[in-house]
Amino acid sequence: RLPVSGYPFSEPASMTTGDWGLETGDWRAPPLSRKRWGRIVTLAALKQPPEIACIVVSYRSPRDMVAAVRSILVQDVPVEVVVVNSGGGEPAAALAAAGIDVPVIDHPERLFYGGAANLGIAATTAPLVSLLAADCVAEAGWLAARIERHRSGASVVAAAITNAYPKNVFSWAAHVLLWSPRMPGVAPAQALLYGLSFKREVLDAVGGFRSNLRAGEDTDIKERLSGRYQPVWEPRVRTAHRNPRGLFSLLADQYRRGSRSVRTWRDLGQLQVSRTVASNALRRFPSLIRVAWAAALPGERRWIALATPLVPLGAFAYALGAAIGRGEI
């Protein structure tokens, strides 16, 4: 069954994304003492084991991965971090060069997100489990807000998505198309519940993620949670996503996502979906603009307005990927 709102799938203190050099391309440490990176506290040195684990999922060790890991380590919350990389690259060397010492699972062959996540889950022991893609940054309070909601009884906590490049119109066009229903200011009733963290027993009960899905592993696990565990929306948990920053990269990314969406639905057993996915992409973009406008935080509406003429182009590229990318009109 195709979702009724948004695109078919999600993909997931005072410090802001500007401190990570996302606007300038500067991937060095934020303006904190460099010594901090030389004295990562080991699990054995903690008086009590961390309450939460974070698995950072990386493919081919992109340079983004170091910033993703660093964004977790500066949260001032004890955390069990494991990086799972697949498909090549030198993740351990990249982290060591940045002065970061965390466990790395490096799989030579490509793993889809669910398979990589499962390796990280098995390698950790904390009672709460969170995940962060290497193309994202955890904003301040990301861990603390998750822990607070889990302590209050939530078995599964869903996160909001922010734009890592808030002064770029192409990035905003992508953000409107992909993440409008997950913006922090969205009405709770409209929020799409993804970017999940779990009590470990929940993952044990549902058997973890499917490892054979190219995308949509979060949609699949939500289906298996249904009726037993209801995700709770927590907009204080904010994940900054690195959206495309140019016209070509915007259109290419949307095309790939459209094609991948069709492939994923087929993996889930729904074979004749190209037309549905393509038509949904074209039909929904006006409502996504309205959702983004209503959910905008202070200062964001100007950029959403500037990006709005680009949104139909992105939606068309997504529809084209769905219709042509899999060879079915």
Q: For residue 226, what pLDDT band results from cuts at 50, 70 and 90?
A: confident
pLDDT digits (tens, 9 = 90+) for 48-59: 789 999 999 999
CA distance 129 to 79: 10
For the domain that residue 41 is a member of, what is the CATH number? 3.90.550.10
2 belongs to a structural domain:
no
pLDDT at 265: 80
Name residue 56's beta-bridge partners.
83, 132
Number of Cβ atoms within 10 Å of the Cβ of 146: 29
58 belongs to a structural domain:
yes
3 belongs to a structural domain:
no
- What is the number of domains present in the chain? 1
Full residue range of the structural domain in which residue 208 is found:
17-324
pLDDT digits (tens, 9 = 90+) for 302-320: 999 999 999 999 999 999 9
> Residue 212 carries which DSSP code?
S
10 belongs to a structural domain:
no
291 belongs to a structural domain:
yes
Q: pTM for the whole thing?
A: 0.84
What is the arithmetic mean of pLDDT over 167-171? 98
Yes or no: say if 79 and 127 are a contact pair by the CB < 8 Å rule. no
144 belongs to a structural domain:
yes
pLDDT at 32: 28
DSSP string, 94-116: HHHHTT----EEEESS---HHHH
Closest among 174, 149, 167, 142 to 238, alpha carbons compared: 142
Phi, psi angles (nearest 5°) of residue 47: -65, -35
12 belongs to a structural domain:
no
pLDDT digits (tens, 9 = 90+) for 102-143: 999 999 999 999 999 999 999 999 999 999 999 999 999 999
- What is the share, in percent, of the chain residues with pLDDT greater than 90? 75
141 belongs to a structural domain:
yes
Q: For residue 227, what pLDDT band results from cuts at 50, 70 and 90?
A: confident
